[in-house]
């Protein structure tokens, strides 16, 4: 177990609470293509279908042959740092508050120049580097020049650490401790150096062995939280909302049925009550306090994590109503993301495929072990991404979705009876 | 490349400056309008005599030159909006010259000017271009300081130029500015001050960076006969070049479009670099000065350090340069910065300098450079001007 991160001094109540500032967020629509790949932790550039010329900055037509057939293609990011500077003055408040900044001009082997942040592990120009993407605090793509050979964490660089939501030393709420995914996540967060973990427990008279075991964890505190009860959510927000730095919503109500498989809507209503309205209740109670404390470093609120489902992308009829509830939650998470973005609080969505638990019993492998999903949560926080598709099935589905959403609808529907 | 047709008897006259201020509550229209008023006063002509107008400004939005004609109630038969920053004055000359030469206009007023509010430089920089907004400004919002820091660091590493070399130019410009009552910088600059100034964007320090301000510059382009009829002192236009997006494959900008066009410039002008008595460069940062020394043939590529060490750059020196003090010591009034060297050259060649007179000046070169659209300056240009009687 890693050593405990030192806790910061208690806040001086006389000092004003810092307000959030952000890096510039304006981008042309075509440049949002880079944000789209960075959200998944990839690096891609536009490539011309007709002459293969690589493009950057993002363009509407090919810089070489003027074809308009430009497509985003993965790049290895290798290139040379040509020249660099350390900015000791900046025009925007966000940068001014964090001076100095080291940036460089990189020539990719693919033949384009780009401006990037330089990781502290990168030597002085000229030298070889490898470009990676991250999301900045405004939620836009940022290019980072890394050492070519080594793969250091962003967190090793004190400036770039702010592009992550590293759980080390953080206070975290996991909303429903009764699921196997939540229990594995709590363990993974503890291993990653979380300072404190509140674990929500609904219906405490129903004991679950895995949750009981977590009582032994030094960092863990079990708190009453029922997402189907607005009063319960508000009460907890009143008690700990001002301390939570990362909120991880693991609450999940999962029943397996299609439209024709069951009469009545009561079970589907309960799915919606937990998966969709539960998220809404949480967001109404916790999002305002998280926003208010987004710049209150070092104990500022930094992230909100939703464990959704790959079935949010396209309905999977054997789990038809469950898919619908997760699609609703996904849609609401986009609202939450937009409302938290001005404060720089990141919303991370995970879209796992079938999990190796009782509710996915009839799904064929490969299935995602709860511990693997927990690892994905921690990696997403330590990295700088907002959309995570953990496991082979999720990767397969998202590839199909990005390639042809209508095709995925048909393919997913083949399971219907 | 064939040499373009000569400019025959196209001349420039009536250089005017609307005095610079660090910040202003006025709009760009005020500064540009004052420039036109000063032009009319200098030429002693009514507004209706001006039938051509070329305008350069960063802060005129939402207006362009079109809006300005109505704002100033000017009826013109030739109009150009030249959004080329530090190259705009040169480009305006080049276009206006052909217009008056061919009779499309009789007298063209070329004006460049901008206002500067307390937060306007940041707002302009953040939306300077699509490439800049998408791929440069989000990385630290350093603006032109960051872009020129890249160029400067690369140039120093590649060609062995030192901070002392750049400092020598800045100190000489300040010396020139001290004699110019319109320069915003009034205190002498010592080399030690330059070297020890606070870091802005390594290797750039405070006195490497131009200071944004408000102001305007203007001059008239006409035929020699018109100038003589009006009794105006004038200079002759011998040659003019412009080039945009030169050498896009250079990894880092170490040369500008002048390299492509200087032979044309001197062939058209009928004089060479050795005949030039003074040089006015576009000088928002010292590194760009030395690219103009090389690009315009005053020294060979890579020989700038030796050239700087072998010369003196004050008005009375071996290579008189930015004789009014240049933008680095006068101030950068937005697009007026692309006209500052032109008005100063007209003044030098007509014996009416704001500061010190270059002794027996017959020929001057004025150079323009502008628009860091992404990772380099895109626009470049230059003119050769000559005193009225060779």
Q: What is the pLDDT of residues B268-315, one digit of tens each?
A: 999 999 999 999 999 999 999 999 999 999 999 889 999 999 999 999
CA distance B118 to B133: 21
Residue B42 belongs to a domain = yes
DSSP letter for each residue of A324-350? HHHHHHHHHHHHHHHHHGGGT-EEEEE
Do the domain assignments include residue B126?
A: no
Both B319 and B181 in one domain: the answer is yes
A342 touches chain B (CB under 8 A): no
Which has the closest alpha carbon to A254: A170, A314, A311, A303? A311
> Which fold is adopted by the domain A171-413?
Rossmann fold (3.40.50)
Q: Is there a domain that residue B100 lies in? A: yes
B132: enclosing H helix or E strand = helix B130-135
What local confidence, expressed as pLDDT, does residue A128 receive?
98
B291/B324 same-domain check: yes
- CATH number of the domain at B199, please: 3.40.47.10
Asked if the Cβ–Cβ distance from B153 to A84 is below 8 Å, we say yes
Average pLDDT, chain B: 97
Answer yes or no: do A82 and B251 touch at CB < 8 A: yes
Pair (B286, B141) in one structural domain:
yes
Task: Please name which of B271, B239, B243 lies closest in space to residue B258, comparing C-alpha atoms.
Answer: B243
Range(s) of chain A covered by CATH 3.40.50.720: 171-413
Q: What angle do CA A134, A140, A145 make, to 5 degrees?
A: 35
Helix (H, G, I), strand (E, B) or coil at A320: helix
Q: Of A160, A335, A329, A189, which is closest to residue A248 (Cα–Cα)? A: A189
B162 and B224 share one domain = no
Query: Residues 20-59, chain B: which have Cβ within 8 Å of A?
Result: none
Residues of B in contact with A114 (CB under 8 A): 135
Put the strands of the sheet holding A44-48 in their side by side order.
A54-55, A44-48, A70-74
The boundaries of the domain holding residue B59 are 10-119+214-230
- For B140, which of A101, A113, A143 is closest by C-beta distance? A101
Q: Is residue B220 part of a domain?
A: yes
CA distance B383 to A37: 47
pLDDT of residue A363: 86
Chain B: residue whose CA lies nearest to A143: B139
User: Does residue B301 belong to any structural domain of this protein?
Assistant: yes
Q: Does a structural domain hold residue B1?
A: no
User: Is residue B3 assigned to a domain?
Assistant: no
What does the pLDDT read at residue A262?
Answer: 87
Q: Is A250 exposed, middle or buried (0-12, 13-18, 19+ CB in 10 A)?
A: buried
Contact B141 A24 (CB under 8 A): yes
Helix H or strand E segment including B205: strand B204-205
Across the beta sheet with B278-280, the strand order is B78-81, B52-56, B107-114, B214-223, B10-21, B234-244, B377-387, B363-372, B278-280
Q: Is B267 in the same domain as B327?
A: yes
Give me the helix-helix angle, B286-295 and B163-177, nearest 10°: 90
* Rounded CA separation B316/B333 (Å): 26
pLDDT tens per residue across span B214-252: 999 999 999 999 999 999 999 999 999 999 999 999 999
Q: Do B313 and B178 belong together in one domain?
A: yes
* Inter-chain touch B201–A117, beta carbons under 8 Å: no
pLDDT mean for each 10 residues of chain A (417 residues): 62 84 96 97 97 98 97 97 98 95 97 97 96 96 94 89 95 96 97 97 91 93 97 98 97 90 92 98 97 91 98 95 97 98 97 90 89 97 96 96 96 80
What chain B residue is nearest to A25 in terms of C-alpha separation?
A: B138
Regarding whether B155 and B114 lie in a shared domain, the answer is no
For residue B141, the chain A residues in CB contact (below 8 A) are 23-24, 90-92, 94-95
Q: Which phi and psi angles does B209 have, rounded to 5°?
A: -110, 130
B99 and B148 together in one domain: no
Mutating which of A82, A83, A94 best tests the B interface, going by the most B Cβ atoms within 10 A? Answer: A83
* The predicted structure's pLDDT at residue A1: 47
Q: In this structure, how many other beta carbons lie within 10 angstroms of the beta carbon of residue A263?
A: 7
Contacts of residue B207 in chain A, CB cutoff 8 Å?
Answer: none
pLDDT number for residue A364: 86
Which residues, given as ranges, of chain B have pLDDT below 70?
Answer: 390
Q: Report how far residue A246's alpha carbon sits from residue A166's, in angstroms, rounded to the nearest whole number.
A: 10
In chain A, the residue whose alpha carbon lies closest to the alpha carbon of B149 is: A85
* pLDDT at residue B390, as a whole number: 56
Side-chain-facing half-sphere of A308: CA atoms under 13 Å: 32
> What is the pLDDT at residue A301?
96
Q: Name the burial class of residue B274, with classes exposed (0-12), middle (13-18) and buried (19+) by CB atoms within 10 angstroms of its CB.
A: exposed
What is the CB-side half-sphere exposure of residue B216 using CA atoms within 13 A?
32
Do B140 and A90 make contact, defined as CB atoms within 8 angstroms?
Answer: yes
Same domain, B307 and B199: yes
Contacts of A256 (CB under 8 A, 6+ apart): A318, A319, A322, A359, A360, A362
Residue B84 and residue B193 in one domain = no
Same-domain status, B241 and B149 = yes
Interface check for A127 against chain B (CB to CB < 8 A): the answer is no
Q: Are residues B20 and B112 in the same domain?
A: yes
Last residue of a domain, one of B171, B199, B230: B230
Asked if A86 has any chain B CB less than 8 Å from its own CB, the reply is yes
The number of angstroms, rounded, from the C-alpha of A57 to the middle of its chain's C-alpha atoms is: 25
Q: Is A95 on the interface with B (CB under 8 A)?
A: yes
Q: Which residue in chain A is spatially nearest to B154 when comparing CA positions?
A: A83
B337 and B31 in contact (C-beta within 8 Å)? no
Query: Quick check: is B2 in a domain?
Result: no
| ipTM reported for the complex, 2 dp | 0.94
Q: Which residue, B196, B230, B264, sits at the end of a domain?
A: B230
> Number of folded domains in chain B?
2
């Amino acid at each position: 177990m890693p050593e405990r991160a030192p806790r910061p001094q208690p806040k001086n109540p006389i000092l004003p609470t810092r307000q959030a500032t952000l890096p510039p967020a304006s981008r042309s629509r075509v440049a949002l293509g880079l944000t789209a790949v960075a959200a998944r932790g990839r690096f891609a550039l536009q490539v011309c279908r007709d002459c293969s010329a690589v493009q950057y900055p993002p363009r509407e037509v090919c810089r070489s042959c003027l074809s308009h057939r430009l497509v985003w293609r993965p790049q290895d990011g290798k290139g040379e740092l040509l020249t660099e500077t350390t900015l000791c003055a900046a025009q925007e408040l966000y940068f001014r508050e964090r001076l100095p900044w080291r940036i460089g001009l990189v020539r990719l082997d693919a033949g384009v120049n780009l401006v990037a942040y330089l990781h502290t592990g990168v030597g002085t120009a000229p030298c070889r580097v490898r470009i990676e993407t991250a999301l900045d605090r405004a939620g836009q793509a940022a290019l980072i020049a890394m050492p070519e050979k080594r793969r250091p964490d962003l967190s090793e660089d004190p400036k770039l650490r702010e592009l992550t939501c590293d759980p080390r030393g953080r206070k975290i709420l996991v909303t429903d401790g009764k699921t196997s995914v939540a229990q594995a996540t709590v363990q993974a967060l503890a291993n990653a150096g979380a300072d404190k973990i509140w674990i929500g427990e609904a219906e405490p008279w129903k004991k679950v062995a895995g949750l009981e075991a977590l009582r032994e964890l030094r960092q863990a505190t079990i708190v009453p939280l029922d997402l189907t009860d607005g009063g319960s959510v508000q009460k907890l927000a009143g008690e700990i909302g001002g301390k939570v730095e990362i909120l991880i919503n693991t609450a999940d109500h999962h029943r397996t049925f299609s439209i024709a498989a069951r009469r009545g809507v009561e079970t589907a209503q309960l799915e919606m009550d937990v998966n969709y309205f539960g998220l809404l209740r949480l967001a109404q109670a916790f999002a305002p306090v998280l926003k208010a404390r987004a710049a209150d470093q070092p104990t500022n609120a930094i992230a909100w994590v939703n464990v959704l489902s790959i079935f949010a992308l396209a309905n999977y009829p054997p789990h038809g109503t469950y898919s619908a509830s997760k699609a609703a939650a996904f849609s609401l998470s986009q609202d939450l993301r937009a409302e938290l973005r001005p404060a720089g609080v990141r919303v991370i969505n995970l879209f796992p495929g079938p999990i190796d638990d009782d509710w996915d019993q009839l799904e064929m492998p490969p299935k995602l072990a709860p511990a693997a999903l927990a690892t994905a949560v921690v990696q997403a926080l330590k990295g700088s991404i907002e959309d995570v598709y953990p496991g082979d099935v999720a990767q397969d589905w998202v590839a199909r979705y990005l390639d042809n959403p209508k095709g995925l609808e048909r393919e997913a529907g083949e399971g219907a009876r | 490349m064939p040499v373009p047709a000569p400019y025959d008897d196209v001349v420039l006259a009536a250089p005017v400056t609307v005095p610079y201020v660090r910040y202003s509550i006025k709009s760009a229209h005020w500064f540009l309008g004052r420039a036109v008023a000063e032009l009319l006063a200098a030429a002693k002509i009514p507004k209706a005599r001006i039938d051509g107008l070329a305008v350069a400004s960063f802060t005129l939005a939402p207006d362009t030159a079109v809006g300005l004609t109505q704002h100033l109630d000017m009826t013109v038969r030739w109009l150009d909006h030249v959004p080329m920053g530090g190259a705009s004055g040169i480009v305006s000359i080049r276009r206006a010259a052909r217009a008056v030469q061919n009779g499309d206009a009789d007298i063209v007023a070329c004006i460049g000017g901008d206002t500067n509010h307390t937060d306007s430089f940041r707002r302009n920089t953040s939306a300077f271009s699509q490439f800049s907004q998408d791929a440069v400004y989000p990385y630290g919002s350093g603006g032109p300081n960051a872009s020129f820091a890249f160029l400067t660091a690369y140039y120093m590493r590649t060609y062995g130029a030192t901070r002392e070399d750049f400092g020598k130019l800045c100190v000489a410009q300040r010396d020139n500015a001290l004699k110019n009552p319109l320069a915003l910088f009034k205190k002498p600059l010592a080399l030690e001050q330059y070297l020890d100034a606070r870091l802005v964007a390594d290797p750039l320090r405070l006195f490497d960076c131009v200071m944004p301000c408000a102001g305007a510059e203007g001059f008239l382009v006409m035929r020699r006969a018109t100038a003589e009829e009006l009794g105006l002192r004038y200079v002759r236009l011998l040659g003019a070049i412009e080039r945009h997006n030169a050498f896009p494959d250079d990894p880092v900008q170490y040369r500008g479009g002048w390299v492509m066009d200087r032979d044309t410039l001197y062939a058209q002008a009928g004089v060479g670099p050795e005949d030039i008595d003074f040089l006015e460069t576009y000088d928002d940062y010292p590194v760009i000065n030395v690219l103009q020394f090389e690009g315009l043939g005053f020294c060979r590529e890579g020989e700038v350090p030796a050239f700087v060490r072998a010369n003196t750059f004050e008005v009375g020196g071996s290579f008189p340069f930015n004789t009014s003090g240049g933008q680095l010591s006068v101030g950068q009034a937005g697009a007026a910065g692309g006209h500052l060297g032109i008005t100063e050259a007209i003044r030098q060649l007509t014996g009416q300098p704001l500061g010190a007179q270059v002794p027996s000046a017959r020929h001057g070169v004025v150079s323009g450079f502008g628009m860091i659209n992404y990772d380099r300056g895109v626009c470049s240009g230059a003119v050769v001007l000559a005193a009225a009687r060779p």
